Amino acid sequence: MPQRRPHPAAAGRTGSDGRDRPDATRRRVPAGGEAHRRGERILRDGSAERARSRPEPAVRRTPNKAVPAPRAKPPVRRPPPRTPLTAIRVPLGSSNRRLHIVLVIMAMGLSLCAGRLLQLQGFDSARYTADSIDALTRTLPLLPSRGEITDRNGAVLASTQPAVAVTADPTLVMGDKPELAAGRVAQVAGILAPYLQMTTDQLVPLLTTPNTHFVYLKKQVPALTYTRLAADISKAGFYGVFREADPIRTYPNGSVGSSVVGFVGADGKGLGGLELSMNQELSGKSGTETYESAPNGSKIPLGDSKVTPATNGLNFRLSLDSELQWMVQERLAAQVVRTDSDYGMAVVMNVKTGEVLAMADAPTYDSSNPSAASTEDRGNKAVSSPYEPGSVQKIITSAALLDSGTATPDTRISIPYRLKSGPLTIKDAFTHTSDPLKLRMRGAVAQSSNIGMALLTRQMDRKKLNDYYEKFGLGQTTGVQLPGESAGIIPGADMSDIQRDQVAFGQAISVTAIQEAAAISGIVNGGIYNPPTVVSQVTDSAGNTVDLDKREPRRVISAKASAQVRDVMQAVMDSENGQKNLRLEAYDSGGKTGTAQRADPELHKYKGYVTSFVGFAPLNDPEILTYVVLNNPKGSFDTGTSTANPVWRDIMKFALPRYSVMPDKTKPNPKRTTW
């Protein structure tokens, strides 16, 4: 090891005899200064090395010439001697002071630690304890069973099948040994594949998803299938496959009643029909299961747990008759195809209760596969698509005229060939046999005279006419338990003369099929209006009846006026056209055809027709009413007689015997329609 060189300040403090010199006689000589004067260099190890002398330049001698005297050399300026770096020392402070500073810093650190410890253990101990418990506590939702929907006879229209969504935690499936992960994943995928109806190539990427603790493997797996799957996974000694409740909504009857029943989405929430309008009641209320879990998520067997059970949804028994519903749908769909109509609607009602026995659209959709149908076909046009009803509206206008005393079935009318209405001209669709044509009110309805109804309605106050329309439920929703119901449009109490003329025979007014059917049912039912309903009964999971908002019947016209309306509707069936084309063979009935100009939503003008027929039976004690509407039939099918009435007759022939309505056919005895 090289010797430590003495501090430069120590040089010259001792004499040749080794004794200290007096301060006054000491001479400070820089370290290495003497060596520099001798031309030596001091090395790091303290030894001296003599500096190499530069060779004197050779003096060129010139022969035969005298040698010049050498010049005097200028003095060489040498740099001052350098003090070696190893000899520099920085003077240090007091060791006691340094120790005090270190101790103060340590005391401050210990004080901070002690304060934090006091905060954790003293002041915030309860909160951190709760946080610790929460970190080890899992809460899982317990899904309720969605309520069942049946028809009036108990046939299941919508039910829920227990099922689960199979999930996995890739980190648990692969384990904590990377070298074994591939083998474990392959084995787990092999077990899952047959149960989930997937290939191992599909499962392996899911089971090895990086940076996640949760992946979906398959949704809506039957509960029994998962039970078997879980048993095999457990038997093989693997962990990391879990489940979530994911019930399957099934519709055993497919498209039967689908426009009323509706359908649910992938999340189990209603998206159409009763499934949507009664989603909250059908869904029930979720429960929870709370338990202590291990760090890997497994339940600690003896840990604290709490279960709040779910409340299952309510069960709905509809007023629909699934067999009658199927028949109506099939017959209506066939007629839509035959007449090349845009669509058709049919409503069958129990006149005495307001229950809807059948409500059909054509085309329609299958509740089990709604996405296969177009968007416009996944609704219920009978409640959501308003239209101008045409001559069927004459029955409702007649009820207002008869109940108000403005007219009677035998009121005489002189009907001109044409009737001026502002800038417009009203005409009839049939040829007049005389001018003026002399008809009673009964005859004006039987022959569907637009002019005759306009003349009668001009005798009635505008506000009173509007009040009757509102009393019959027009211009407002009926409250039937289905989504998207339209209120339609009726002129206000300040309607113009032209509007009053047109609404009398079913133009310049829009209604829905359910509005029109319910209004006419109330009119012929002794004047008692029963709000239409598609729900007969609601029960909870224990079978107890649940009362929902029940709307009460109301009187809309007198019993006398109701009988008079049935009189004029009988005249329709007793007319020449009625006896030839409209009547039922075994029942006395009343009815009315309808043909209205169709408002085209794209062209914003009238184009084509809306044809319809409404009728009831038996005549004197009505029980069943059916209303059929076809929108925009093509070709020669442009009247209610040729398009809607054949469907009406087939439905009534099926429905009346089914509900034990005894035949009451009598020999026709037409009343006078002219004067």
The enclosing domain of 212 has a CATH number of: 3.30.70.2110
393 and 358 belong to one structural domain: yes
pLDDT at 591 over 50: yes
Q: Is the confidence at residue 30, as pLDDT, over 80? A: no
Q: Is the dihedral of CA 17, 18, 21, 26 positive or negative?
A: positive
User: What does the pLDDT look like over 465-513, one tens digit per residue?
Assistant: 999 999 999 999 999 999 999 999 999 999 999 999 999 999 999 999 9
Give the pairing type, strands 149-150 and 305-308: unpaired
Instruction: Look at residue 470 and tell me if it is in a domain.
Output: yes
pLDDT at 331 exceeding the cut of 90 = yes
**Region 437-465 average pLDDT:** 95
Q: What is the average pLDDT across 198-221?
A: 92
Q: Which two tokens stand for residue 570?
A: 């009988």
Structural tokens at position 10? 């120590």
Is the domain of 156 the same as that of 169? Answer: no
What is the pLDDT at residue 11? 47
State which of 132-146, 169-183, 302-316, 472-486 shows the largest mean pLDDT: 472-486
CATH of the domain at 261: 3.90.1310.10
Q: Is the pLDDT of residue 300 over 50?
A: yes
Which residues neighbour 167 within 8 Å (Cβ) at sequence distance 6 or greater? 214, 215, 216, 217, 241, 242, 243, 244
Cα gap 612→599, rounded to integer Å: 15
Q: Are 581 and 548 in contact (CB under 8 A)?
A: no
Q: Is the pLDDT of residue 130 over 50?
A: yes
Considering only CA atoms, which of 616, 631, 625 is closest in space to residue 361? 631
How many independent structural domains does the chain possess?
Answer: 3
Q: Are residues 529 and 385 in the same domain?
A: yes
In a domain, 446, yes or no: yes
- Residue 522 placed within a domain: yes
Give the DSSP letter of residue 297.
S
Backbone φ and ψ for 252, nearest 5 degrees, come out as -60, -30
Q: What tens digit of pLDDT does each residue of 62-74 get?
A: 445 455 555 666 6
Across 143-163, average pLDDT: 93
Span 115-126, pLDDT tens digits: 888 877 777 667
Residues 6+ apart with CB under 8 A from 18: none
> CA 639 to CA 612: how far, in whole Å?
8
Provide the 8-state DSSP code for 148. Answer: P
Which one of 190, 219, 246 terminates a domain? 246
Whether residues 494 and 596 share a domain: the answer is yes
Pick from 137-141, 177-181, 386-390 the range whose average pLDDT is largest.
Answer: 386-390
Residue 7 backbone phi and psi in degrees, to 5: -60, 135
DSSP for 456-482 reads HHTTS-HHHHHHHHHHTTTTS----S-
219, 345: one domain? no
pLDDT computed for residue 298 by the predictor: 66
The edge-to-edge listing of strands for the beta sheet with 624-631 is: 356-362, 343-350, 624-631, 605-617, 590-600
Tell whether 493 and 571 lie within a shared domain. yes
Span 601-608, mean pLDDT? Answer: 88
Q: Answer yes or no: do 457 and 506 share one domain.
A: yes
> Please, which residues have CB within 8 angstroms of residue 162's CB and are 6 or more apart in sequence?
145, 222, 223, 247
Can you tell me the distance from the alpha carbon of 347 to that of 437, in angstroms, rounded to the nearest whole number? 35
11 touches 81 (CB < 8 A): no
- Give residue 348's domain range: 322-365+380-534+552-658
Based on the domain organization, do 280 and 203 belong to the same domain?
no
How does residue 144 score in pLDDT terms, banded at 50, 70 and 90?
confident
Res. 312 pLDDT band, cuts 50 70 90: very high
Q: Kindly provide the b/e burial profile for residues 82-111, where b requires at least 16 CB atoms within 10 angstroms of the residue's own CB.
A: eeeeeeeeeeeeeeeeeeeeeeeeeeeeee
Most confident of 37-41, 76-80, 289-293, 336-340: 336-340
Whether residue 313 lies inside any domain: the answer is no
Q: Where are the alpha helices (DSSP H) in 340-404?
A: 381-384, 393-403
Residue 12 has pLDDT above 50, yes or no: no
pTM: predicted TM-score of the whole model, two decimal places: 0.77
Sequence-ordered list of residues with C-beta below 8 angstroms from that of 663, at least 6 positions apart, any chain: 586, 587
Q: Tell me if 477 sits within 8 A of 551, measured CB to CB.
A: no
pLDDT value for 553: 95
**Average pLDDT in the chain:** 86
Q: Is the pLDDT of residue 268 over 50?
A: yes
Cα 382 to Cα 28, 366, 599: the distances in Å are: 121, 17, 17
Task: Label residue 350 by pLDDT band (50, 70, 90).
Answer: very high
The answer on 181 and 258 residing in a single domain is no
| pLDDT surpasses 70 at 608 | yes
Does the pLDDT value for residue 378 go beyond 80?
A: yes
271 and 239, same structural domain? Answer: no
DSSP 38: T
Alpha-carbon distances of 506 from 511, 595, 599, rounded to whole Å = 10, 9, 13
For residues 267 and 385, state if they share a domain: no
Q: Are 403 and 433 within one domain?
A: yes
